[in-house]
């Protein structure tokens, strides 16, 4: 390698090492001048490794913990509902309107093993037995004009939601029994303890191909709904949520009819739980026009963990559901099921 080129590399490398040291010590720059020669780099307190860190805004000292946070107004766990500054946020990390914990058609990551004592749709002389339902999906915030608090942000928000609801049959070689697919766009507004949403969602139901081969005479239905939803949520206490919503489907197929209602309550720790977690209880009810205003009730209870820097929630526990099968391919069949599950909410 030519000697002049080596000399240039050594000089550049030496400058890179000298800038962080000079910035931290306060030396190496004329009096009155910024430690940042370029005027756009904010320096964090010394860390390992040491050096300048480029931020998109001023650094505010402070640490993460149960009572403090990394920036003004973020965290503030003493009063979850206090007014705070509003501003624009692209892809914020949490949600103003969260999924209903015991809602069987809410987007999340989840899996439930349960024993259903109701008659099997394919062999009515027998009970359905053990089944395995999983949800593969999520709910995210795309754009917000509002606060950026870790817990219970407020403002206007555009969300996206989507999920696949899948059922497997362990007794039949884990055949795919059925799957529902849902996609939606909620428009959300929240202030104080109140949240409301105006949403659209599409849901379509499908019978598993393996079950169609195994039971070729089973009558498949082309169940489809395109729904407009108006929902409301209120936190009576920090740990007590009440909610309700009404949906009207403007496109129906496979026995679907326009009106549906959903309501429920949740009791769960509002603040970060730490590694020990905390108990929870959730109850959800659904009523639908196509079932002559019948529906189902789902109860969940168990243990939950809430994240320190977001509202992300992991739960494990017991689930009981009675009433119309939440897999819409079997919406006119009933379930009476109990089992254990795991749920992860965004």
pTM: 0.77
C-alpha–C-alpha distance, residues 55 and 32, integer Å: 22
In this structure, is residue 244 part of a structural domain? yes
**What domain range includes position 31?**
1-59
Domain identity same for 106 and 33: no
Instruction: Examine the domain organization and report whether 16 and 144 are in the same domain.
Output: no
Check whether residue 196 and residue 142 sit in a common domain.
yes
Residue-level pLDDT at 17 = 42
Q: Are residues 106 and 210 in the same domain?
A: yes
Task: Please report, in tens digits, the pLDDT of each residue of the chain (346 residues total).
Answer: 555 544 544 444 444 444 444 444 444 444 444 444 445 544 444 444 333 333 333 434 434 334 433 344 344 456 788 888 999 999 998 999 999 999 999 999 999 999 999 999 999 999 999 999 999 999 999 999 999 888 899 999 999 999 999 999 999 899 999 999 999 999 999 999 999 999 999 999 999 999 999 999 999 999 999 999 999 999 999 999 999 999 999 999 999 999 999 999 999 998 889 899 999 999 999 999 999 999 999 999 999 999 887 789 999 999 999 999 999 999 999 999 999 999 999 8
- d(Cα 256, Cα 319) in Å, to the nearest integer? 26
User: Nearest-5° angle of CA 301, CA 305, CA 310?
Assistant: 130
Q: Residue 340's beta-bridge partner residues?
A: 113, 318
What does the pLDDT read at residue 77? Answer: 52
Q: SS3 of 54, please?
A: coil
75 domain-assigned: no
Q: Pick from 4, 40, 36: which is nearest to 23 by CA?
A: 36
Q: Is residue 80 part of a domain?
A: no
d(CA 119, CA 122): 9
129 and 20 share one domain? no
> What total number of domains does the chain contain?
2
Are 181 and 41 part of one and the same domain? no
In terms of domains, do 30 and 140 share one?
no
Closest CA to 186 of 162, 159, 163: 159
Find residue 280's DSSP bridge partners: 268, 302
Instruction: State the Cα–Cα distance between residues 107 and 135, nearest whole angstrom.
Output: 7
Q: How many residues does the chain have?
A: 346
pLDDT for the residue 3? 52
Q: 178 and 295: one domain? A: yes
**Residue 3 domain-assigned?**
yes
Verify that 105 and 39 share a domain, yes or no: no
- Using CA atoms, how far apart are residues 107 and 98, in angstroms rounded to an integer? 10
What are the φ and ψ backbone dihedral angles of 20, each rounded to 5 degrees? -60, -40
């Amino acid at each position: 390698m030519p000697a002049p080129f080596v000399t240039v590399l050594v000089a550049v490398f030496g400058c890179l090492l000298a800038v962080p040291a000079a910035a931290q010590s306060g030396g190496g720059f004329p009096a009155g001048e910024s430690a940042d020669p370029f005027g756009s780099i904010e320096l964090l307190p010394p860390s390992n490794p040491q050096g300048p860190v480029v931020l998109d805004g001023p650094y505010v000292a402070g640490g993460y913990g149960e009572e403090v946070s990394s920036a003004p107004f973020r965290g503030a766990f003493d009063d979850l509902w206090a007014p705070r500054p509003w501003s624009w946020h692209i892809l914020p990390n949490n949600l103003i309107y969260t999924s209903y914990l015991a809602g069987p058609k809410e987007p999340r990551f989840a899996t439930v093993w349960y024993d259903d004592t109701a008659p099997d749709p394919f062999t009515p002389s027998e009970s359905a037995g053990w089944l395995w339902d999983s949800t593969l999906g999520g709910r995210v915030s795309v754009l917000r004009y509002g606060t950026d608090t870790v817990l219970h942000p407020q403002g206007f928000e555009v969300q996206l939601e989507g999920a696949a609801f899948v059922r497997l049959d362990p007794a039949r070689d884990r055949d795919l029994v059925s799957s529902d697919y849902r996609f939606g766009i909620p428009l959300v507004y929240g202030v104080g303890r109140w949240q409301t949403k105006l949403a659209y969602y599409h849901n379509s139901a499908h019978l598993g191909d393996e079950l169609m081969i195994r039971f070729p005479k089973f009558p498949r239905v082309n169940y489809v709904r395109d729904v407009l939803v108006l929902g409301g949520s209120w936190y009576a206490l920090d740990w007590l949520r009440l909610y309700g919503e009404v949906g009207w489907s403007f496109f129906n197929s496979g026995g679907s009819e326009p009106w549906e209602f959903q309501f429920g309550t949740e009791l769960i720790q509002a603040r970060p739980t730490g590694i020990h977690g905390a108990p929870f209880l959730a109850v959800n009810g659904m009523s639908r026009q196509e079932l002559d205003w019948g529906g189902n009730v789902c109860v969940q209870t168990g243990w939950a963990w809430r994240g320190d820097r977001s509202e992300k929630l992991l739960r494990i526990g017991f689930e009981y559901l009675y009433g119309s099968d939440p897999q819409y391919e079997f919406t006119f069949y009933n379930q009476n099921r109990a089992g254990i599950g795991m749920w992860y909410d965004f």
